[in-house]
Amino acid sequence: MSHRQHVVRRWLFADQLGPHFLDSAEQPVLLVESKAVFRRRTYHRQKAHLVLSALRHRAAELGDRGRHLRTDTYRQALAHLGEPVEVCAPTSRAARRLVEALPDVTVLPARGFITDEADFAAWAGGRTRLRMEDFYRRARREHGVLMDGPDPAGGRWNFDVDNRRPPPASGHLDVPPPPLPAEDDIDAEVRADLDRWQTEGIEFVGRDGPRQFPVTRAEALARLRHFLTHRLPAFGPYQDAMLAGDPWLAHSALSPALNLGLLDPLEVVRRAERRYLHDGAPLASVEGFIRQILGWRDYVWHLYWHLGDRYSARNRLGARRALPRWFADLDADAVQARCLADALAGVRDRGWLHHIPRLMVLGNYAMQRGWRPSDLTDWFRRCFVDGYPWVMTANVVGMSQYADEGTITSKPYAAGGAYVNRMSDYCGGCRYDPGRRHGEDACPFTAGYWVFLDRQRDRLRGNPRLAQPLRQLDRLPDLAAVVAQERRRGSRAP
């Protein structure tokens, strides 16, 4: 019997599409489109398009090596296939429970991340505070990334202090935008299918539009090369900046491709490292980019499993309000606050924002208003093209909403309009004044910041990083008026 006859077919989920999820270039593959997945939740239209287009492009690449089944459920697909398969452990608890319960399915260790689950568990065991910086330094040492012997390259682990510049006064960065892919017949077929599904009762949120992110490995590699060549040097200093006329700035916009499994994260890290070692790319920019992948991406992946099922329901700040309809439906036109309107429009039109508007505009506003973290997590998961349970749980519950009260961050990421004014060009064209907390022109972020601190003062009083603003809170002469003002505003769009 030949070796080929012994090779078990590998089932690839839609976020496992790269070659590093296979053991050889000849391995037979199963790809499944489950229509029930899109019936259970209301996803962004462009996210549905991206996932289906990526699956179908991979099927076209595989040719006779692949079986591409379009069924209502995964169980139906496996029954139709009628042969044993193996699968790399899926990235969600629900999917893992499913594959572990299916007959004739062998579940292999997870792939698509740099660091090992067991190693993370050993590191995290017994720690009450799981800081990303500690994990990141360990990972740098273990994989020899940006190291000079036992020491970090440049003598520093972290170049955050060099990477916080406000946007340039010109209102734009002198870098080319990321190359957008060209749609093809597969994309046209996907768009027609989604149109038909909508007539059958499957609902989506957000606008349809030309595909803006890679769905093949070739497209993903092209975008990676473009970023490393043209955008990486400017990424570091301006990674926290926001510009109304430029959603991309110098960001790589590679998270959708990474989270579809089109790129191996370690190869991305090594290519960026080579730009520093051999091509003179600024260390602060290279380190900042690598920290997002080897550091934060792997970190939130491990936290998803390590913190357990109950973490997603954490709500230590007692936030009970439902997401208002204008926010849930991405009704950016209902919003007058320029930064919030632009962020919500970015989600509506692209299903993507870089990390600062996610955290300091959308997340900051939600935390100030006391919206339920579980609802917000679900919204981020459904409405962002790079959103998956493992991505969004710690990002929203822990970092954005501080609902774990410090398990992964040292303070809540709450800020008033002064932060937005410093790090963006939004406030100059806004009807609200970032310097005012009370009155018709009061910035909703500035007012919301003080109301949030007032509402949470008992829970936050022991946090040394908030000692100064809490002392200032007690001296505000108009605090009662600001609280009453925000109560009157309620859930209305600002």
In a domain, 91, yes or no: yes
* Whether 275 and 369 share a structural domain: no
Residue burial 107-129, b: 16+ Cβ < 10 Å; e: rest: eeebebbbbeeeebeebeeeeee
* Whether 165 and 273 share a structural domain: yes
* Whether 275 and 319 share a structural domain: no
- Counting the structural domains of the chain, the total is 3
In a domain, 195, yes or no: no
What SS3 state is found at 367? Answer: helix
Give the end of a domain, one of 248, 281, 306. 306
* Whether 281 and 330 share a structural domain: no
More confident: 297 or 128: 297
The residues near 82 (Cβ < 8 Å, ≥ 6 apart) are none
* Whether 268 and 406 share a structural domain: no
What's the CATH number where 104 sits?
A: 3.40.50.620
* Whether 145 and 280 share a structural domain: yes
In a domain, 186, yes or no: no
- Residues 324-343 pLDDT 10s: 999 999 999 999 999 999 99
What is the band of 129 on the pLDDT scale with cuts at 50, 70, 90? confident
More confident: 129 or 362: 362
What is the band of 5 on the pLDDT scale with cuts at 50, 70, 90? low
Domain boundaries, position 360: 310-489
In the block, residue with structure tokens 């079986």: 67
* Whether 318 and 465 share a structural domain: yes
User: Is 347 a residue whose pLDDT tops 60?
Assistant: yes
What's the CATH number where 384 sits?
A: 1.10.579.10
* Whether 160 and 274 share a structural domain: yes
User: Is 3 a residue whose pLDDT tops 50?
Assistant: no
Instruction: Give start and end residues of each alpha helix (H) in 307-411.
Output: 325-328, 338-350, 355-356, 364-369, 373-383, 389-392
- In this structure, the strands spanning 147-148 and 151-152 are antiparallel
More confident: 162 or 289: 289
Task: Give the per-residue pLDDT at 12.
Answer: 98
Give the end of a domain, one of 60, 82, 108. 108
In a domain, 191, yes or no: no
C-alpha distance across the termini of the chain, in Å: 70
In a domain, 194, yes or no: no
Predicted TM-score (pTM) of this structure: 0.95
* Whether 160 and 299 share a structural domain: yes
* Whether 402 and 480 share a structural domain: yes
In a domain, 202, yes or no: no
Task: Give the per-residue pLDDT at 1.
Answer: 36
In a domain, 205, yes or no: no
* Whether 453 and 358 share a structural domain: yes
User: Is 378 a residue whose pLDDT tops 90?
Assistant: yes
In a domain, 459, yes or no: yes
Give the end of a domain, one of 108, 141, 161. 108
User: Is 4 a residue whose pLDDT tops 50?
Assistant: no
Polymer length in residues for the chain: 494
* Whether 267 and 400 share a structural domain: no
What is the band of 491 on the pLDDT scale with cuts at 50, 70, 90? confident
- Residues 417-475 pLDDT 10s: 999 999 999 999 899 999 999 999 999 999 999 999 999 999 999 899 999 999 999 99
Rounded Cα gap, residues 381 and 360, in angstroms = 18
Output phi, psi for 73, to 5 deg. -130, 160
Task: Give the per-residue pLDDT at 481.
Answer: 94
What's the CATH number where 133 sits?
A: 1.25.40.80
User: Is 103 a residue whose pLDDT tops 80?
Assistant: yes
Task: Give the per-residue pLDDT at 2.
Answer: 43
- Residues 78-95 pLDDT 10s: 999 999 999 999 999 999
Task: Give the per-residue pLDDT at 170.
Answer: 85
